[in-house]
């Protein structure tokens, strides 16, 4: 289980470089699982897309809390000592890929040099120093600490969207950091104006 010690890792750097492809990129969008999603790892999931370019796509699930670990326990595992603040903050399961790797989605009121902007409101950092900022009480006002991420190879996500596995809409801080985690999937559909009960699992239909 690890966070980067000083600088952002390959995926976070890739998120920064994806700014050059915003015309077609889903970076900064929320990816919302179809009601017919059969993969149990993504059932009713909402994912903030942090990178999406011609080579790959990467995002972090924002509505799946771990039932096994909180921030205090994570700090103990990382040998960071007992946190002064936020010890009871939940840790999220960011996705099935590299579930020992940590990421923090956060408001941009606190950024480090290694942080990258996912949107104009939300940043992404994988530095253990950032985690220490949170537990010292000097971190951002809003944050989601996650282990793992969701990843797609080149063209894979586009194919899944064509097959109606996912919908998407622009992210907002109020939805990303909504404390009522179990409601985020339904709220995302409400913002789309789509009733999930009427969603048709057929390419080109909704």
- The pLDDT of 128-132, averaged and rounded, is 95
Q: Which residues, 6 or more positions from 158, have their beta carbon under 8 angstroms from its beta carbon?
A: none
Q: How far is CA 95 from CA 45, 64, 73, 139, in A?
A: 10, 9, 19, 24
In this structure, how many other beta carbons lie within 10 angstroms of the beta carbon of residue 48? 26
- Give the model confidence (pLDDT) of 66-98 as tens digits: 999 999 999 999 999 999 999 999 999 999 999
**pTM score of the predicted model:** 0.88
| pLDDT reported for residue 201 | 64
**Distance from C-alpha of 40 to C-alpha of 112, rounded to nearest angstrom:** 35
The tokens describing 81, both together, are: 């000592």
Q: For the segment 8-65, what is each residue's pLDDT rounded down to a tens digit? A: 454 444 444 434 334 489 999 999 999 999 899 999 999 999 999 999 999 999 999 9
pLDDT at 71: 97
* pLDDT for 153 beyond 50: yes
| Local structure of residue 44 (DSSP, 8 states) | T
Q: What percent of the chain is modeled with pLDDT above 90?
A: 82
10-198 CATH, one of 3.30.300.30, 3.40.1740.10, 3.30.450.20, 3.90.110.10: 3.40.1740.10
Taking phi over 0 as left and psi of -120 to 50 as alpha, with beta for the rest, 193 belongs to left
Confidence at 202, pLDDT banded by 50, 70, 90: low
- Domain coordinates of the chain in residue numbers? 10-198
The separation between the first and the last C-alpha atoms of the chain, rounded to the nearest angstrom, is 40
Mean pLDDT of 126-150: 96
Give the torsion sign (CA, 185, 101, 39, 25).
Answer: positive
Mean per-residue pLDDT, 156-165: 94
Please give the Cα distance from 141 to 53 (Å, whole number): 30
Rounded CA-CA distance 94/64 in Å is 7
């Amino acid at each position: 289980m690890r966070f980067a010690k000083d600088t952002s890792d390959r995926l976070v750097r890739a998120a920064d470089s994806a700014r050059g492809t915003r015309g077609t990129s889903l970076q900064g969008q929320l990816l919302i699982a179809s009601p017919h999603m059969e993969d149990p790892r993504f059932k009713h999931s909402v994912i903030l897309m942090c990178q999406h370019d011609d080579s790959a796509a990467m995002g972090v699930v924002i509505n799946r809390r771990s039932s096994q670990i909180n921030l205090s326990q994570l700090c103990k595992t990382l040998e960071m000592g007992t946190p002064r603040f936020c010890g009871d903050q939940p840790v999220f399961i960011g996705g099935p890929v590299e579930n020992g790797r940590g990421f923090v989605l956060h408001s941009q009121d606190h950024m480090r040099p290694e942080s990258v902007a996912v949107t104009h409101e939300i940043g992404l950092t994988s530095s253990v120093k950032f985690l220490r900022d949170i537990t010292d009480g000097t971190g951002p006002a809003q944050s989601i600490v996650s282990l793992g991420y969701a990843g797609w190879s080149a063209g894979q996500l586009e194919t899944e969207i064509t097959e109606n596995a996912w919908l998407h809409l622009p992210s907002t801080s109020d939805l990303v950091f909504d404390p009522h985690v179990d409601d985020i999937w339904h709220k995302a559909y409400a913002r789309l104006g789509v009733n999930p009960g009427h969603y048709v699992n057929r390419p080109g239909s909704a």
